[in-house]
Amino acid sequence: MKMRDGSFIEMLELFRTLISADNKFIKEWKRRNKPVLGYACSYTPEEIIYAAGILPIRVLGGLEPPKLADIYLPVNVCSFAKSCLNKALKEEYNVLDGYAVSNSCDNQNKIYDLWRHCTTIHKTYFINTPHSVTEKTLEFFCEEFERFRQWLTDSFEAKISEEDLKVAIEIFNENRRLLKQVYELRRRDPPLVSGSDALEIVLSSMMIPKDEHNELLHALLGEVENREDLIKGGVRLLVSGSVMDASELLRLIEGVGGCVVADDLCSGSRYFWNLVKENGEPVRAIAERYLHKVPCPFMYSSEERFNHVKEMVKFFDVEGVLIFSLKSCDVHSFDAPLLAEELRGKEGLPVLCLEWEHSLSGIAQLRTRIEAFVEMLGE
Amino acid sequence: MSERRLETLKGFYHNYVKSFYEMAHKAREEGKLVAWVASTFPVEILLAMDIIPVWPENYASLCAARRVSVPLCELAERKGFSKDICSYARCVLGSLFDEENLPEGGIPRPDVLVASTCACDTHLKWFQVASRFFKKPLLLLDVPYNIESTNPENLEDHYIQHYVYQLEDLVSLLEKHSGIKLDEGKLRKTLELSDRAGELWLRVQDYRKNVPAPMGAREAFSAVYFILCIPGTEQAVKFYEVLCGELEQRVKHGVGVAENETYRLVWDNLPLWFNLKIFQYLRGLGAVVVAETFSHVWAGSLDPSKPYESLARKYLSNMSNCSIERRIELIAGLVRNFRANGVILPTNWGCRMMTIGETIVKRRIQEMTGVSSLILDVDSTDWRNYDEYRVKTKLETYLRTLK
């Protein structure tokens, strides 16, 4: 095996270090006295925040046990949302000047009450995201976004012109196109970028200004063509689930002979797969994009997400699917057996359903099951 | 300790619940339309259209009371549904795979399923699964979350308007699927009855402010059936009228539901459907449940001259569609108005909506009223993790701390 190409590896390493609320870009942003807004869900219209001169960053959790959040929350609660709250309680999100939530699931909505009551973050906002796609829900969503825009304007003394919005849309769309190019590198066999690297690249895009991220992606994509070797092939897998805010689980899969070539994660493909229309009235175009994007399972139509998974399976030449349900995530847990049945029955694909804890407790058991699945497929 | 059963509630299950299922099964055979409906959906619409509303939630509680819910939950788990999801949902999904051993012959099959986003994610997801199973459409009333906990009178026009639009769209879809046109006169009549039933139901609650309280939780969790499931009917109004009459007499003669009433409790969330005897046990310790949040969230005033708008106001301000302030206000109000000296906050394992934030509720209630609360880790329907000894010890210890 040849040596890894130095600068490419360095770039991957850089992306990894950016997945943190105290990365150098955020520090630089704050140094210029500009506000940072944390958001909880991939349905938050980042373009509007960015157009206001505010840096939107995704609130992520950590792997440590959520001791402080455990004081307020019982065990039967989404461990990701709990972990995020824990970080806020530990004041690891002091960088945030505000926090925005979308109406997406009970865990998120109800834990938002605790953000308001128990943390030091006082500027908070809730966007009433519809759960279905019709003309009326689109109108309502547009109105919600206009209100959000007004709130940003009032709370942060910001100005958001139509032109600002258009520029933001272009920058965000470029980021989405570039991320898609990164994903396409995984169509090859063996892929040019591993699943864990790709996840880290997407996660990092949520944590720094998108224009800066675009530059990094251009550089990465420029380097990648010089990369000739390195990734071990293996059984080509798709990983489906909610949010993964760290690559440990994917590394585990890759460590036992799996090759994660595609995903259906809200912190993966579902985050960037769809573009905003660049002609037309900006807020409306943004609302259309978020309403029509590959849906998370809190939305009315599960079929559309299932279709997305099936398209990914074909596009990335997938041999098996791992469905991860975060414990106490109702919306994914209800979908898991349906998606499994759909893939097994209609597509004839091997599927493994797994429940997991965000803190990765019980990981040994997960490893055993994944290893057995990968071995079975490898035969 | 003997229970002083209310005459009105004698034979309740047989007379009202069982007979409803018999009627629904029979009506279905005769070609009437049946809809599965989830709570917070404005059932008045279905009643006005002569579509039979059947309630999977009610069925799950019934299965728990009959002690068959756990085997049904296990059936759903074997089909891949997580043990951590709502036990109501697991129980009912399990019942789809058991044709034989179901109380009341199971839930009548639906022609259509309706749910609203006002209560929880589970309603949508659970009904999606059932909709795929039965190959029948699920119509979702997709409406906003009341993040400011605004009360019905002060809800924003933006929200009300959207609710009304959504309901209009839903009704036209329902008309298309059912072939039945919603008659405005009938809707007005149904709303009148629902409004009247709600008023009477709240009067039933008012009687319980008296010391000693004339009615306890066991009776309330049965009698709430009408306001929850079939509010816009003559039957509901009539039942509550009779119940009010009996309670009036009890209050007049100073007859309480318990012989000895030392503690007055507010009960949040759901009861242990599989062990309603816990209320009897509490009475034995001199503790009477005088108010349940569950009894106070389903009634709401309706204006028949503005049917859609008043349904919007009623359901958007339902506690389950609101941020935590509404729940805190409601419980604090119950503590004050019902002269309660304790609050029981039972969790429900698969219910994020009611479980998250209980610590804040407990803290705020203490601050606002000086009354302490007991958080009880239980599930309403799935008894596999239930430890009777532990629960009783907790209750007993808690009662001893109350003034």
What is the three-state SS of chain B? CCCCCCHHHCCHHHHHHHHHHHHHHHHHHCCCCEEEECCCCCCHHHHHCCCEEECHHHHHHHHHHCCCHHHHHHHHHHCCCCCCCCHHHHHHHHHCCCCCCCHHHCCCCCCEEEEECCCCHHHHHHHHHHHHHHCCCEEEECCCCECCCCCHHHCCHHHHHHHHHHHHHHHHHHHHHHCCCCCHHHHHHHHHHHHHHHHHHHHHHHHCCCCCCCCCHHHHHHHHHHHHHCCCCHHHHHHHHHHHHHHHHHHHCCCCCCCCCCEEEEECCCCCHHHCHHHHHHHHCCEEEEEEHHHHCCCCCCCCCCHHHHHHHHHHCCHHHECHHHHHHHHHHHHHHCCCCEEEEECCCCCHHHHCCHHHHHHHHHHHHCCCEEEECCCCCCCCCCCHHHHHHHHHHHHHHCC
Identify all chain B residues contacting A112, using CB atoms and an 8 Å cutoff: 323
User: B381 vs B93, B134, B332, CA distance in Å?
Assistant: 14, 24, 27
- Mean pLDDT along residues A205-231: 89
Q: Give SS3 for A253.
A: helix
Q: A114-131 burial, b for 16+ CB within 10 Å, e for fewer?
A: bbbbbbebeebbbbbbbb
A339: pLDDT strictly greater than 80: yes
**pLDDT of B357:** 94
Whether B125 and A330 lie within 8 Å, measured CB to CB: yes
C-alpha angle B307/B308/B309, rounded to 5°?
A: 95
What is the 3-class SS of B84-153, one letter each residue? CCCHHHHHHHHHCCCCCCCHHHCCCCCCEEEEECCCCHHHHHHHHHHHHHHCCCEEEECCCCECCCCCHH
Tell me whether residues A334 and B85 touch, CB distance under 8 A: yes
pLDDT at residue number A229: 63
Structure tokens at A333: 């847990």
Please, what is the average pLDDT of chain B? 96
User: Given phi > 0 = left and psi -120 to 50 = alpha, else beta, which region is B31?
Assistant: left
pTM of structure: 0.96
Q: How does pLDDT run across B103-154, given as a tens digit for each residue?
A: 999 999 999 999 999 999 999 999 999 999 999 999 999 999 999 999 999 9
pLDDT at A3: 39
| Residue appearing with tokens 């309740």 | B12
pLDDT at res. B381:
97
How high is the pLDDT of residue B245? Answer: 98
- Partners of residue A333 in chain B, C-beta under 8 Å: 81-82, 84-85
Integer Cα distance of B248 and A49 in angstroms? 59
CB neighbourhood size of B105 (10 A): 12
Of the candidates A143, A325, A355, which has its C-beta nearest B158's C-beta?
Answer: A143
Contact A350, A321 (CB under 8 A): yes
- Look at residue A272 in the predicted model and tell me its pLDDT: 98
Measured distance CA(A297)–CA(A301) in Å, rounded: 8
Give the model confidence (pLDDT) of A8-40 as tens digits: 888 999 999 999 999 999 999 999 999 999 999
CB A354 within 8 A of CB A369: yes
- CA-CA distance, B89 to B77, in Å (whole number)? 11
In this prediction, residue B163 carries a pLDDT of: 98
User: CA A219, A221, A222 angle in degrees (round to 5)?
Assistant: 60
Provide the percentage of residues in chain B whose pLDDT is more than 90: 97
Per-residue pLDDT, B378: 96
Closest CA to A198 of A260, A256, A271: A260
* Closest alpha carbon within chain B to A142: B158
Q: What is the mean pLDDT of chain A?
A: 95
Does residue B355 belong to the interface with chain A, where contact is any CB pair within 8 Å? yes
Left, alpha or beta for A348 (phi > 0: left; psi -120 to 50: alpha)? Answer: left
Give the confidence band of A347 by pLDDT, cuts at 50, 70, 90: confident
pLDDT digits (tens, 9 = 90+) for B73-115: 999 999 999 999 999 999 999 999 988 889 999 999 999 999 9
Asked whether A159 and A198 are in contact (CB, 8 A), the reply is: no
b/e map B176-187, b = 16+ CB within 10 Å: ebbeeebeeeeb
Distance from CA of B113 to the nearest CA of A (A): 13
pLDDT surpasses 50 at B1: no
Can you give the pLDDT at residue A4?
A: 44
d(CA A24, CA A46): 20
CB atoms B82 and A355 under 8 Å = yes
- Put simply, the answer to whether B357 touches A77 (Cβ < 8 Å) is no
The residue written with tokens 């890759």 in the block is A254
Cβ-in-10-Å burial (0-12, 13-18, 19+) of B42 comes to buried
Burial letters B289-320, b for 16+ CB under 10 A, else e:
bbbbbbbbbbbbebebeebbbbbbbbbbbbbb
Residue A346: what pLDDT? Answer: 84
A55-58: strand order across its sheet: A55-58, A36-39, A98-102, A124-127
Q: What are phi and psi of A94, to 5 degrees?
A: -65, -15
Q: Which residues in chain A have their CB less than 8 angstroms from residue B132's CB? A: 338
Among A22, A14, A115, which residue's Cα sits nearest to residue A62?
A22
Task: Please tell me the distance from the alpha carbon of residue A282 to that of residue A104, in angstroms, as a whole number.
Answer: 23
Residues paired with B138 in a beta bridge = B113
Q: What pLDDT does A225 receive?
A: 76
Cα(B24)–Cα(B53) distance, integer angstroms = 8
d(CA B105, CA B102) in angstroms, rounded, equals 5
Task: Give the long-range contacts of residues B220-225, CB within 8 A, separation 24 or more.
Answer: B220/B289, B220/B292, B220/B294, B220/B295, B221/B271, B221/B276, B221/B292, B221/B294, B222/B9, B222/B12, B222/B13, B223/B8, B223/B9, B223/B12, B224/B292, B224/B294, B224/B295, B224/B298, B225/B12, B225/B16, B225/B17, B225/B58
Give chain B positions within 8 Å (CB) of A338: 128-129, 132
Q: How confident is the model at residue A219 (pLDDT cuts 50, 70, 90)?
A: very high
Determine the average pLDDT of the residues in A129-148. Answer: 98
- Rg of chain A over all Cα atoms, to the nearest angstrom: 20
How much is the average pLDDT of B30-36? 97
Question: CA angle at residue B381 from B379 to B383, to 5 degrees?
Answer: 70
| Residue tagged 């509630």 (tokens) | B9
Could A113 and B323 be called an inter-chain contact, meaning their C-beta atoms sit closer than 8 Å? Answer: yes
pLDDT in tens, A61-74: 989 999 999 999 99
Q: Does B185 touch chain A (CB under 8 A)?
A: no
For residue B325, what is the nearest residue in chain A, using CA coordinates? Answer: A113
CA distance A298 to A41: 12
Minimal Cβ distance to A113: which of B120, B124, B357: B357
Residue ranges in chain A assigned as alpha helix (H): 6-18, 24-31, 46-51, 67-72, 79-89, 106-118, 135-155, 162-184, 195-205, 210-224, 248-255, 269-272, 282-292, 302-315, 330-347, 363-378
Answer whether B128's CB lies under 8 Å from B138's CB.
yes
Asked whether the predicted pLDDT for residue A2 surpasses 60, the reply is no
- Higher-pLDDT residue of A226, A239: A239
At A6 the pLDDT is 62
Write out chain B residues lying below 8 Å of A136, CB-based: 162, 165-166, 169
Name the DSSP letter for residue A119.
Answer: S
A21 alpha-carbon distance from chain centroid: 15
Q: Is the pLDDT of residue A1 over 60?
A: no
Q: Which of B121, B123, B131 to mutate to test the interface with A (most CBs of A within 10 A)?
A: B121
Residue A112: pLDDT above 80?
yes
Q: What three-state secondary structure class fits A176?
A: helix
**Greatest Cα-to-Cα distance within chain A, rounded to the nearest angstrom:** 61
- End-to-end distance of chain B based on CA atoms, in angstroms? 22
pLDDT of residue A127: 98
Kindly identify which residue of chain A lies nearest to residue B161, measuring between CA atoms.
A140
Q: What is the ipTM of this complex?
A: 0.95
pLDDT tens digits, B161-203:
999 999 999 999 999 999 999 999 999 999 999 999 999 999 9
How do residues B253-292 score in pLDDT, each as one tens digit?
A: 999 999 899 999 999 999 999 999 999 999 999 999 999 9
More confident call, A6 vs A354: A354
CB pair distance less than 8 Å for A136 and B140 = no
pLDDT above 80 (res B30): yes
